[in-house]
Structure 1
């Protein structure tokens, strides 16, 4: 089922910057009423002030790892708006990690808590209300092409995004007989503060605004899985098809993601 061209109610986590903020700007321009959730109240307030008709949007300064606070924000948005049409779990973090370094174990745990567990906690309060609405709705998981193959020095991030893809696929099957569609968007390199920390070439780097417009169109169609930009989708399929010996030979010396230094 295709969504209306102007979705009414859109709840976005990770809205204070990056992909989340770009999606907020795109949906506000399409006339939606937004629930903007992120850790930084000042960034959320600045974003809302820059959107059309800022008074109709709702801000929630919440860490997605605080599941109780996240559930309260979801319930407040549902009460205020009478339901939700799209929920986008966009909150995510990325750090380089090395399994041999014991100080990186908490980083693994933090990446999974934010990228995977918080996604489940984001969707959970919305599933029953969306099913009860009986109208076309979307739960949107922001994955990554990094979840398609593991990369050197990025075990936590790649594994967390692979988990996102599998979790969203499971949820899609659970909700198959309902009006709720689960959409997985797998960004390649998108020009955001997160990717600007990368110390290696980023092919097919896509402006955040263009990504948001393409993602919103895919969400409206109810695409089950979409890689953006499309060129990265082609590259990802080729990577997946590489035999392990050839993949290992090519990528064993690839640049590593920057590690989070211990405090």
Structure 2
């Protein structure tokens, strides 16, 4: 049975291969939306597109490649029209050690995907929206950041920097877009049960299932909430920890096992890492 209607009928979704991305794709398709599925796992995307082939197209660019993203945008708009929702969900995670020269490449690639990727995703569609001028339909840009972007975490500096930078970028973009009637939404998940968290060896309070998170995210965007935390209680916990004296906060974080670095057991893959 179709889900309750959302105000968005045409969506572009990066990171659609698994976890939150797959859950978002299923929810959008269930409401009747047309969805551009963007990711690197072609079989997973094809399987999702097969659920509604007349309303989907599959794309496999590097989200940090602006030229490739512009080609994607042109093709999708020629096929299915101008989207009213663009979700920059593609992201990677991995442990980081500033004393290791090899980890500098990890940081560079993480910044390319997690921070530059949303900008290259939004740019061609934002350009089209601006050229179209005023419209009566709602339009939204959604950036999936993380509560890890709120505060630094030992052994996770590259990821925290990329997500913290994304939060500030979205804050800036929101101010630029408000007068044009374009909503900019910052999503800060805590821990979701996805491939990015599968190798974590530390405590993950408030662990959330991707399908639950996807429904909450889309409902919040539809309601116009510009700052979305999934689940809300993890945001309260993060703020509470930040109120502790710095050395107490650091001691708590340092007592937890570090996230695996690329190449270590349990580490998640970072596409394009050289």
Task: Name the residue aligned to 2:31.
Answer: 30
The match for 2:175 is 173
Match of 1:212 in 2: 214
Q: 2:241 aligns with which of 231, 235, 239?
A: 239
SS in 2 for 1:183: strand
Find the counterpart in structure 2 of residue 54 from structure 1: 53
Measured in 2, the distance between the counterparts of 1:90 and 1:241 equals 30
What is the CA-CA distance between 1:160 and the residue it aligns to?
A: 0.6
- Normalising by structure 1, report the TM-score: 0.93
**Alignment RMSD, CA only?**
1.6
Given that 1:6 and 1:30 are in contact with CA atoms closer than 8 Å, whether structure 2 keeps it comes out as no
* 4+ residue segments displaced more than 4 Å: none
Structure 2 length-normalised TM: 0.90
User: CA offset at residue 6 of structure 1?
Assistant: 4.5
SS in 2 for 1:226: strand
- 1:251 aligns with 253
SS in structure 1 at match of 2:8: coil
SS at the partner of 2:151? Answer: coil
Aligned partner of 1:198 in structure 2 is: 200
Q: Is the 8 A contact 1:190 1:208 kept in 2?
A: yes
| Equivalence for 2:267 | none
Aligned partner of residue 155 in structure 2, secondary structure: coil
Go from structure 1 to structure 2 and tell me whether the alpha carbon gap of 1:253 and 1:122 turns closer, same or farther (over 3 Å shift).
Answer: same
Q: Distance in 1 between matches of 2:190 and 2:119?
A: 22
- CA distance in 2 between counterparts of 1:181 and 1:63 reads 25
Paired residue for 1:66?
65
Q: CA deviation at 1:20?
A: 1.2
In 1, the alpha carbon distance for the partners of 2:247 and 2:95 equals: 23
Question: Does the CA contact (< 8 Å) of 2:203 and 2:256 recur in 1?
Answer: no
Deviates more, 1:132-141 or 1:234-243: 234-243
d(CA) in 2 for partners of 1:251 and 1:14? 29
Q: 2:188 maps to which residue?
A: 186
Contact 1:38 1:44 in 2 (8 A): yes
Once residues 78 and 181 of structure 2 are traced to their aligned partners in structure 1, the CA distance between those partners, rounded to angstroms, is: 20
Aligned twin of 2:93:
94
Secondary structure (helix, strand or coil) at the match of 2:94 reads coil
